[in-house]
Amino acid sequence: MWWGQCRPRLPVSPQQDPGLQPGSEQKRQAALTALAQLQCEKRIITKAAVARQAGVSLVFLRSHRDLVQAVEEAANTRSALVSSISPGSPASDQVIAALRRRLDEMKQQLAAKDQELRRKQREFDLL
């Protein structure tokens, strides 16, 4: 995988409980993988972002304390790292540039989705 070179330390999963619902362990692994991916991409880490990236519900994520703790620790680590960058430093400039690029990407995605929505609305109106 492209992010295989970046290997953040993930919490060790507890032994699989026979009482878990089918698919819970796969969802747990998906959440941990999503957390690692967000860390590698240096994106903002929140419970919602991890749930969205993993394709699991926020309720599922919140119902697993170890997952919530892992997300909070990763978010706190990232916050401490970002706050340690002084304004005007080259690192700060890089962060700002990365955020601007991400904002531009999101604007392009929004415009594409908006255009697709308008196209589908026109199709719908023709029916």
pLDDT per position as a tens digit, 60-89: 999 999 999 999 988 888 666 555 555 667
Residue 1 has pLDDT above 50, yes or no: no
Residue 53 has pLDDT above 80, yes or no: yes
- pTM equals 0.51
59 pLDDT tier (thresholds 50, 70, 90): very high
Q: Helices 65-83 and 47-54 sit at what angle, rounded to 10 degrees? A: 120
Give the per-residue pLDDT at 91. Answer: 72
Please list, in sequence order, all residues whose beta carbon lies within 8 angstroms of the beta carbon of residue 27, skipping any fewer than 6 positions away.
54, 56, 60
Residue whose entry in the numeric block shows the structure tokens 């916050």: 79
Is the Cα torsion angle 30, 33, 79, 9 positive or negative in sign?
Answer: positive
Nearest to 10 by CA among 55, 57, 54, 56: 54
Residue 20 has pLDDT above 60, yes or no: no
Give the per-residue pLDDT at 84. Answer: 56
Distance CA 26, CA 94 (A): 36
